[in-house]
Amino acid sequence: MLDYWKGKNVFITGINGFIGGNLAKTLLDRGANIAGLIRNRDRKTLLFYEGLADRVTLIQGELVDRQLLESIIAEQQIDAVFHFAAQVEVGVGIKNPYLTFETNIRGTYCLMEAIRTSGQKVQSIVVASTDKSYGSYPKELMPYKEDYPLKPEYPYDISKACADMIAQSYASDIFKLPVVVTRFCNIYGPGQLNFSAVIPDGIRSALGYTKFIPRGDGSQIRDFIYVEDVSDLYMSIGKLLGSKPEKISGEIFNAGTNTPHSVREVLEMIFSKIGNTKELEEVIALMQGKQTSGEIEAQYMDYEKVNKYTGWKPRHSLEQGMEKTIEWYEKYLKVKNEL
């Protein structure tokens, strides 16, 4: 049977990022034609490291350039859009809210308006949001549900919640674009080169390249989902949206693994699997009584709704995904260190 994605023209904003690069890799394997927007030709990414950049059409430009976006949609005859480009750092949002709002809010409505006015019949538009849009809820109300009111507090969280509402407005009866918003838990895996994230930071430290500096006491509860499972989910949502837009357009979909962990548990798994028990003891000692600023105590969600619509469920446990992730970083950091 012909794969749905074979021959589809797909536009990915943020293609040079962690999730965009992984999705591009999977879609290329399915026979899709990929165009991607990049802000600069940063070669220290999965897209370039694994030679994917030579297999896609890269367009350099700004997400807030509506005319550029419109021309890409029309000239590349785009069938499906995955919107990943964003300023994703909570800390950067606090230090530079203007940049965060410009990229995440203005960037989203520029993209939506470009699609609307391009004249191209785009079949599916999937907007990547975050669990942080929900804001802080008591532990007893976890996991987040799609119908929870949004209560963002920090600039990054607010920017994503605003972008969600903008995206949904374009799926309304006014504009009728085929749009879905996704809110997934923490994503990890090969190609995550933002070392402020706990898993790549922990792996790099456990392998002896750096010293891990805890940002809290490790008690924060999070869910972590492997990036291959995320790519599968994005393709499932995009396929359903493109085939039956009337069924899911305008919907919000959460996804996690249904198995949350504390940050401390994750770090213990990383250091133990790598066999660096000495530094693990040092990290645990440093975490004792350390306060965390700008982080929500507990955030996780289930995949009940998206499973009902698409049948998707994660294929990797945290332990399985972590083993594959550590193996990738061992190779990547060894090569990087030898250059």
Output the CA torsion sign for 177, 104, 55, 224.
negative
Separation CA 189–CA 18 (nearest Å)? 9
How many Cα atoms within 13 Å fall on the side-chain side of residue 253? 31
Separation CA 289–CA 265 (nearest Å)? 16
Non-local (6+) Cβ contacts of 23 within 8 A are 12, 82, 84, 230, 231, 234, 235
**Residue 306: closest CA among 250, 222, 207, 236:** 236
Separation CA 180–CA 241 (nearest Å)? 8
Residue of 137, 156, 303, 332 marked catalytic? 156
Place of tokens 């599916």: 124
Count of Cβ atoms closer than 10 Å to residue 119 Cβ: 8
Separation CA 29–CA 66 (nearest Å)? 30
Is residue 314 helix, strand or coil? coil
Residue pair 19/197 in contact by the 8 Å Cβ criterion:
no
Catalytic, 98? Answer no
Output the CA angle 207-277-288, nearest 5 degrees. Answer: 105
| DSSP states along 176-224 | ---EEEEEE-EEESTT---TTSHHHHHHHHHTTSS----SS-S--EE-E
- Strand pairing partners for 299? 222
Separation CA 214–CA 271 (nearest Å)? 14
- Residue 317: alpha-carbon gap to chain centroid: 18
User: Among all residues, which ones are annotated catalytic?
Assistant: 156
